[in-house]
Amino acid sequence: MSTLKDRFENVPDNWKVLRLAAGETPHGVKLPVGPVLVPLAVWRARRAELIRREYDHGWPLGVWLGAEESPAAIKHDIDDFTVVGVEPDKSGDRFHSVWQLLANFGYRGAVTPTPA
């Protein structure tokens, strides 16, 4: 698990980026304490639990989209996220196109490249 770097001015560095290790499943992975950026698969599997954590503890929630995942997958959930992470491609074009689609969907939160 890594933390978001200082260069992402919209997102404090106390956020944790959850990644599934070999053998881990979205249903079984342990969620860290505090603000967390989860992969889309974990969001889909544990949506209710993640929202409950946000309301019970005040921990902001974010989701990150992998290289093959479309922002349309979270179109109806964008109000649940403080930040959306985007796995960048080599050209950098994907980040900007995802940002634009999210803005078109009405998302007003932070959008950031997902750190390695």
Mean pLDDT of 65-80: 94
More confident residue, 96 or 51: 51
Grade residue 93 by pLDDT with cuts at 50, 70 and 90: confident
Q: Which range among 9-13, 19-23, 91-95 has the greatest average pLDDT?
A: 19-23
- What is the domain range of residue 23? 2-113
Q: Which two tokens stand for residue 43?
A: 């969001």
Does pLDDT of 111 surpass 60? yes
Number of alpha helices (DSSP H) and beta strands (DSSP E) in the chain = 2, 6
In the three-class reduction of DSSP (H, G, I as helix; E, B as strand; rest coil), residue 9 is classed as: coil
The pLDDT value recorded for residue 105 is 94
The pLDDT value recorded for residue 101 is 92
| Total-model pTM | 0.86
State in Å, rounded, how far the first CA of the chain is from the last one.
9
Instruction: Name the H helices within the chain.
Output: 40-57, 93-104
- Residue 41's alpha-carbon distances to 8, 74, 107, 108, in angstroms, are 24, 11, 20, 22
Weakest mean pLDDT among 17-21, 70-74, 87-91:
87-91
Domain count, the chain: 1
Mean pLDDT of 16-38: 94
- Residue 87's alpha-carbon distances to 2, 36, 58, 59, 79, in angstroms, are 14, 16, 26, 22, 20
Mean pLDDT of 29-44: 95
